[in-house]
Structure 1
Amino acid sequence: MSAASHQSAQPRQPLLSVRDLQVAFGTKKQPNEVLHGISFDVYPGETVAIVGESGSGKSTTMHAVINLLPGTGRTTGGSVTWNGRELVGIGRREMETIRGREIGLVPQDPMSNLNPVWSVGFQVEEAIRANGLAKGRKEVKQRAIEVLEQAGLQNAEQRMKQYPHQFSGGMKQRALIGIGLSANPQLLIADEPTSALDVTVQRVVLDHLASMTEQLGTAVVFITHDLGLAAERAEKLIVMYKGNIVESGPSREILQRPQHPYTKRLVSAAPSLASRRIGSDADLPPAPTESFDLAALAEEEKPTVKHGEPMIEVQGLGKVYKIRKGSFGFEDFHAVSDASFTVNRGETLALVGESGSGKSTIAKMVLQLEKPSSGEIRIDGQNVAGISGRRLFDLRRTLQPVFQDPYGSLDPLHNIGNTIMEPLKIHGVGDAESRRARMLELLDQVALPRELATRYPNELSGGQRQRVAVARGLALKPDVLVLDEAVSALDVLVQAQILDLLAELQQELGLTYLFITHDLAVVRLIADRVCVMQQGRIVEQATTEEVFENPQQEYTKNLLAAIPGAHIELGVS
């Protein structure tokens, strides 16, 4: 008893203490301050989540702590103490002994943080050697296998020989988590560590992080836009807005009773299982309204069609890939098997499932980017299997994609105006003047200022880029948009804006959406019906309401149960 009281009498010392931290980019003569005096503590074994929209300063704060600010970024004021030791102003060598060994980092983008010319195993082994965790080739290799298995990577010994391009996004993310955990650091900074992962893999990784925290007393700082993850996994929440902390405290308390207007906005924008379909008051969208001048497409008016007619019909669809086996033979890999579904005009069908379940393969076959091995696809009553040449070119006008990555799907050498006009040029629609008029109308339609037409993708935020991708998809006035993880890279406020935009456009233009996603909370907001995929097969198919309220398959129940914060009520006071 006296030992316990003595323990409580000792004030708990923070592992990391940040006081009045200021960071600026640019030259000393013209500094642009992006952090305006940030203060917080992280205690041993504590899990803290920093949330806020893109550009709020979340990543900058933690990169300043470990002196990894990009470009012209530098700490201009304040103090960062680590285990009682001041980090601001210490030498590069000293910082390198702390970074990796005492403070681990899992960076955000698995695509650009693994070197494409080295095997994944080599890169994990390099981190282990650099941190002095093992000696001798055999010991280093053994530790690398252990680290990758800990991070949830199956067949780690075989996988180590592969290169980053042979890994899925989720596998790359797990490799980075393995590297970050390899030294058993006292603090792990995890920058959007699970944004590339589907919910079941996400749960495996987060459970591992949680058990590591308990066993080793490791503190974790999550930088995330997923409020469900913050509510479920973090004890303490820090809400950032424009380089300031606007609210902090116990995470559930803040998310259930937010005080600051910005936190209230974040919470109300977060999709959850309690959400309802956007625009659910209307059973079917109204017929398209021609409220804008369509000079570019005037010569090809489409006949009026009734809503509810089958728009995409998929019957017995299969896709088999030949995978090399050994030195000589090949074996069949069934990516999609006997998939059947119908999407009616003006409706949204969501294809959901884990990475590798076959969702994107179906999307590619519908878009005619991959040829089916079996079955048939009908678009607006027309069998498109095996079509080519002019017929395929014409089909592209009906069917347009919006891809996952707003960073990678726009050409950095084309300005926004030319990017949006590109489909019109390719299809020979109108003259230069009418194409420009259509481009400006599209910018209005996706709520982007017209002056962005002369800007380039690197000058736009992630949300603006995704709006450009939607505008480009709409340029030819298609009937169907195939959206492959179209909002997964976006923070919660921008995600809510894009989902609202898609719902409005669907109502206004009578669009049909095939929506591929691993985020079931988003499905709740956007989809009328859901197909759940597992290992290439559709295992459950029903209305969104039925799938969420009364899932039939064990697999679907597991997917729903794995959503971070699924059963935590978020509230706006």
Structure 2
Amino acid sequence: MSDVSAGKEEQTMKPVLSVRDLKVAFNVDKNLKEVVHGVNFDVFPGETVAIVGESGSGKSTTMHAVMNLLPGTGRITDGSVLWQGRELVGIGRRDMETIRGREIGLVPQDPMSNLNPVWSVGFQVEEAIRANGLASNKKDVRARAIEVLEQAGLSDAEKRMKQYPHQFSGGMKQRALIGIGLSAKPDLLIADEPTSALDVTVQRVVLDHLAQLTSELGTAVVFITHDLGLAAERAEKLIVMYQGNIVESGPSREILQHPQHPYTKRLVSAAPSLASRRIGSDAGMPAAPTGTFDVAALADAESRGGKVGEPLIEVENLRKVYKLRKGNFRSEDFVAVEGASFTINRGETLALVGESGSGKSTIAKMVLQLEEPTGGKVTIAGKDTAKLNSRELFDLRRTLQPVFQDPYGSLDPLHNIGNTIMEPLNIHKVGDTASRKRRVHELLDQVSLPRELATRYPNELSGGQRQRVAVARGLALKPDILVLDEAVSALDVLVQAQILDLLAELQRDLGLTYLFITHDLAVVRLIADRVCVMQQGKILEQATTEEVFENPQMEYTKNLLAAIPGASIELGIS
């Protein structure tokens, strides 16, 4: 009996995935450019591993190489990938397809672009079930699809099957993708930034649900994430990647509390949740260096110049009602925003926070004049925007610029980066061709992107690079006001830190005014002067950032703060 149990023990200690000396290269201008330089790691049964690092560090490339899903010209040039003792490098396409989905599941990064908009969600789940050979006849496939969506935490799954991706919120789409990834009960699930687009409360629900499902199935999970709080809270093991190399690995809390490698120290010191706690204490306390700037200084009003002027944006009793079609030519009213009022002074940052569907982005669209209010008014620089003619509105757009949430969706895939940034200058006829090109180079410098990217296209850039392009385009006309809708939600901590530093610097130098919409409360602590907390279209609480964080009045605000990943975990630099 003891021999059998010893054998079982030995079996469980064997890794399900063993990667040795893995090298990956891409063909660039007929030359092979190596991007992953001989990485080694193991994943054991039922283990949760987080791979962290900045955009372009090789996190996603490594795991896509494991699944033989490298894009374009990417290929494995050396090394071994053993899956349950079976070599995957050089395996035939047909053989790989039997493993992919059934034995190794994937939750891709962007739910917006990974669900086909022309097919119902149910159809797409059914396709995955058929492809994985989980059921063959129509009735069984449908029953399994409903079960998958229910397991993914979607209530009323049968009704949801008929809906299309645009009718799902970000959290619902992400849960559907998790359901698809887990539908075949794989032994390993690779989750690529599974919650970067979700607000903290939905994120917690999704991650709790994922943890419950994977523990029931005994599934090992590899999180690819830029969120150190999430890594500390959800993963037993942490792998830190930098420029295609693993620079540090081991128990996650141990590494995040006592980082050894200089790069890990930079990551930890740039993590906004850590910075928030530091800022909350004595403002004169020295902050840990991040290699680029001092995160604590960002929220120090004195360091930002403290130049707050007259009211620039005044929102009074704003209301927005949408008509939702119900069939039979009937419709019902959906109140997206109800009685919202706030003022933003020149040179100030106001953050709108709340869960998905709370009305934050709807307010942003009304401020930007992309949606017409049903009631109330928006006044910008003393002018009622409802009374502006088309010429005045065109002039207003020069001073009021957006930076949208989804950099991939808001960048034209047919325009190169230079033309994308130059577009506002062309529309508003600013300068001549030579001066516009100079301005594009200046903007690329400002957002820390190499100038040669001007000739590249959005699909050739990482998520963080695309977001920096979106910020550069927003700054092209030197506006007075930037409306930033989840502008840093998809970025890793170092790029996020650079963008926040850039925004603070521009605010200090140019006196810019920001309306900052986010679900990331840790970031709010760094960047905002005042906060409006929204729930179901209404502003529940409005106060200075310090007051909201130190003494939240509403239960809803307390829940939002408690849901910040890793909020209770003290990170540190040894």
Judge same fold: TM > 0.5, yes or no: yes
Q: For residues 236-273 of structure 1, give each alpha carbon's deviation from its aligned partner in whole angstroms, at most 9, with x where no partner exists.
A: 00111122111100000001101011111111111104
Counterparts of 1:248 and 1:66 in 2: how far apart (Å)? 22
Tell me what 1:282 maps to.
Answer: 301
Tell me what 2:336 maps to.
Answer: 335
Tell me what 2:121 maps to.
Answer: 120
Counterparts of 2:461 and 2:70 in 1: how far apart (Å)? 21
Tell me what 2:286 maps to.
Answer: none
Counterparts of 2:446 and 2:33 in 1: how far apart (Å)? 33
Q: Return closer, same or farther for 1:10/1:280 CA change in 2, 3 Å cut-off.
A: closer
Counterparts of 2:68 and 2:360 in 1: how far apart (Å)? 40
Bigger mean CA deviation after superposition, 447-456 or 405-414? 447-456
2:221 corresponds to 1:220: yes
- Other structure's SS at 1:230 match: helix
Query: Does structure 1 retain, via aligned residues, the 8 Å contact 2:178–2:210?
Result: no
Counterparts of 1:392 and 1:437 in 2: how far apart (Å)? 27
Tell me what 2:564 maps to.
Answer: 563
Tell me what 1:258 maps to.
Answer: 259
- Other structure's SS at 2:113 match: coil
Query: 1:128 is matched by which residue type in structure 2?
Result: I
Tell me what 1:58 maps to.
Answer: 59
Tell me what 1:383 maps to.
Answer: 384
Counterparts of 2:30 and 2:446 in 1: how far apart (Å)? 41
Q: Return closer, same or farther for 1:423/1:88 CA change in 2, 3 Å cut-off.
A: closer
Query: Does structure 2 retain, via aligned residues, the 8 Å contact 1:275–1:525?
Result: no
Query: Does structure 2 retain, via aligned residues, the 8 Å contact 1:23–1:73?
Result: yes
Query: Does structure 2 retain, via aligned residues, the 8 Å contact 1:482–1:515?
Result: yes
Tell me what 1:84 maps to.
Answer: 85
Bigger mean CA deviation after superposition, 18-27 or 6-15? 6-15
Counterparts of 2:557 and 2:47 in 1: how far apart (Å)? 32
Counterparts of 1:350 and 1:539 in 2: how far apart (Å)? 13
Question: After the TM superposition, which residues 59-458 of structure 1 pair with which residues of structure 2 at under 5 Å, given as runs?
Answer: 59-272=60-273, 273-276=276-279, 278-283=297-302, 285-286=304-305, 307-450=308-451, 452-458=453-459
When the two chains are superposed, the root-mean-square deviation of aligned CA atoms in Å is: 2.5
Question: Deviation at 1:429?
Answer: 3.5
Q: Return closer, same or farther for 1:448/1:190 CA change in 2, 3 Å cut-off.
A: closer
Counterparts of 1:282 and 1:504 in 2: how far apart (Å)? 12
Query: 1:238 is matched by which residue type in structure 2?
Result: I
Question: Deviation at 1:546?
Answer: 1.3
Question: Deviation at 1:438?
Answer: 4.4
Query: Does structure 1 retain, via aligned residues, the 8 Å contact 2:299–2:525?
Result: no
Question: Deviation at 1:25?
Answer: 2.3
Tell me what 1:534 maps to.
Answer: 535
Counterparts of 2:75 and 2:457 in 1: how far apart (Å)? 26
Question: Deviation at 1:120?
Answer: 1.0
Q: Return closer, same or farther for 1:420/1:25 CA change in 2, 3 Å cut-off.
A: closer
Q: Return closer, same or farther for 1:178/1:231 CA change in 2, 3 Å cut-off.
A: same
Q: For residues 118-151 of structure 1, give each alpha carbon's deviation from its aligned partner in whole angstroms, at most 9, with x where no partner exists.
A: 2110110111122232343233222212211222
Question: Deviation at 1:431?
Answer: 4.2
Counterparts of 1:419 and 1:29 in 2: how far apart (Å)? 27
Q: Return closer, same or farther for 1:28/1:535 CA change in 2, 3 Å cut-off.
A: closer
Q: For residues 447-472 of structure 1, give each alpha carbon's deviation from its aligned partner in whole angstroms, at most 9, with x where no partner exists.
A: 44555555544554444433333233
Q: For residues 417-446 of structure 1, give each alpha carbon's deviation from its aligned partner in whole angstroms, at most 9, with x where no partner exists.
A: 443333233233444455455445444444
Q: Return closer, same or farther for 1:465/1:106 CA change in 2, 3 Å cut-off.
A: closer
Gaps in structure 1 of 5+ consecutive residues: 288-305
Query: Does structure 2 retain, via aligned residues, the 8 Å contact 1:256–1:569?
Result: yes
Bigger mean CA deviation after superposition, 393-402 or 232-241? 393-402
Query: 1:84 is matched by which residue type in structure 2?
Result: G
Q: For residues 22-65 of structure 1, give each alpha carbon's deviation from its aligned partner in whole angstroms, at most 9, with x where no partner exists.
A: 22222998432222222111111110011111111111211222
Query: Does structure 2 retain, via aligned residues, the 8 Å contact 1:275–1:524?
Result: no
Tell me what 2:284 maps to.
Answer: none
Counterparts of 1:151 and 1:348 in 2: how far apart (Å)? 37
Query: 2:40 is matched by which residue type in structure 1?
Result: S
Q: Return closer, same or farther for 1:447/1:140 CA change in 2, 3 Å cut-off.
A: closer
- Other structure's SS at 1:48 match: strand
Query: Does structure 2 retain, via aligned residues, the 8 Å contact 1:316–1:375?
Result: yes
Q: For residues 185-226 of structure 1, give each alpha carbon's deviation from its aligned partner in whole angstroms, at most 9, with x where no partner exists.
A: 111111111112111111111111111222221111111111
Question: Deviation at 1:367?
Answer: 0.5
Counterparts of 2:128 and 2:512 in 1: how far apart (Å)? 49
Query: 1:566 is matched by which residue type in structure 2?
Result: A
Q: Return closer, same or farther for 1:533/1:244 CA change in 2, 3 Å cut-off.
A: same
Tell me what 2:291 maps to.
Answer: none
Question: Deviation at 1:525?
Answer: 1.0
Counterparts of 1:247 and 1:406 in 2: how far apart (Å)? 31
- Other structure's SS at 1:54 match: coil
Q: Give the TM-score normalised by the residue count of structure 2.
A: 0.91
Counterparts of 2:18 and 2:299 in 1: how far apart (Å)? 47
Query: 1:537 is matched by which residue type in structure 2?
Result: K
Q: Return closer, same or farther for 1:209/1:462 CA change in 2, 3 Å cut-off.
A: closer
- Other structure's SS at 2:36 match: strand
- Other structure's SS at 2:340 match: strand
Counterparts of 2:458 and 2:81 in 1: how far apart (Å)? 35
Question: Deviation at 1:369?
Answer: 0.5
Counterparts of 2:249 and 2:441 in 1: how far apart (Å)? 42
Q: Give the TM-score normalised by the residue count of structure 1.
A: 0.91
Counterparts of 2:28 and 2:471 in 1: how far apart (Å)? 37
Bigger mean CA deviation after superposition, 473-482 or 528-537? 473-482
Counterparts of 2:500 and 2:28 in 1: how far apart (Å)? 39
Counterparts of 1:72 and 1:431 in 2: how far apart (Å)? 38
Query: 1:274 is matched by which residue type in structure 2?
Result: R
Question: Deviation at 1:90?
Answer: 2.5
Query: 1:512 is matched by which residue type in structure 2?
Result: T
Question: Deviation at 1:161?
Answer: 0.9
Question: Deviation at 1:182?
Answer: 0.6
Counterparts of 1:160 and 1:248 in 2: how far apart (Å)? 41
Counterparts of 1:494 and 1:31 in 2: how far apart (Å)? 27
Counterparts of 1:181 and 1:473 in 2: how far apart (Å)? 39
- Other structure's SS at 1:112 match: helix
Question: After the TM superposition, which residues 452-471 of structure 1 pair with which residues of structure 2 at under 5 Å, given as runs?
Answer: 452-471=453-472
Counterparts of 1:432 and 1:76 in 2: how far apart (Å)? 44
Counterparts of 1:438 and 1:191 in 2: how far apart (Å)? 35
Query: 1:206 is matched by which residue type in structure 2?
Result: L
Question: Deviation at 1:168?
Answer: 3.1
Question: Deviation at 1:544?
Answer: 1.0
Query: Does structure 2 retain, via aligned residues, the 8 Å contact 1:284–1:307?
Result: no
Gaps in structure 2 of 5+ consecutive residues: 280-295
Q: Return closer, same or farther for 1:238/1:309 CA change in 2, 3 Å cut-off.
A: same
- Other structure's SS at 1:111 match: helix
Counterparts of 1:377 and 1:463 in 2: how far apart (Å)? 32
Count of residue pairs the alignment pairs up: 555
Query: 1:44 is matched by which residue type in structure 2?
Result: P
Counterparts of 2:297 and 2:333 in 1: how far apart (Å)? 42
Query: 2:381 is matched by which residue type in structure 1?
Result: D
Counterparts of 2:416 and 2:94 in 1: how far apart (Å)? 42
2:519 corresponds to 1:500: no
Q: Return closer, same or farther for 1:43/1:265 CA change in 2, 3 Å cut-off.
A: same
